[in-house]
């Protein structure tokens, strides 16, 4: 079983620590809910991990693309503009 950055391949744009903390919480809840059935707890954890990771992975890929684009400074400024 993998947790945190080891459980997913994403660009290094700042989501790894957040995902690792969430993984720990989700795994802890799954183990508490299935204290007598470790395989079921792991299955529940993995199901939830893949659900919350897919959105973060998409966002990370978009941010990496933005940061590595030729006009990154302009795009970052636009990113932080309200509206």
CA distances to 45, 51, 77 from 60, rounded to whole Å, are 22, 15, 17
Q: In which domain, by residue range, is 62 found?
A: 4-79
Q: How confident is the model at residue 34 (pLDDT cuts 50, 70, 90)?
A: very high
Please give the tally of structural domains in the chain. 1
Nearest 5°: the CA angle 48, 50, 54 is: 125
User: Over the range 58-78, which residues count as b (16 or more CB within 10 Å of their CB) and which as e?
Assistant: eebeebeeeeeeeeeeeeeee
Is the pLDDT assigned to residue 37 strictly greater than 90? yes
Is the pLDDT assigned to residue 23 strictly greater than 80? yes
Mean residue pLDDT of the chain comes to 85
């Amino acid at each position: 079983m993998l947790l945190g950055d080891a459980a997913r391949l994403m660009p290094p744009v700042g989501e790894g620590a957040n995902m690792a903390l969430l993984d720990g919480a989700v795994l802890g809840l799954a183990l508490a809910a299935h204290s007598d059935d470790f395989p079921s707890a792991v299955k529940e954890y993995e199901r939830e991990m893949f659900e919350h990771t897919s959105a973060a992975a998409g966002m990370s890929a978009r941010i990496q693309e933005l940061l590595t684009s030729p006009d990154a400074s302009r795009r970052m400024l636009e990113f932080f503009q309200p509206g």
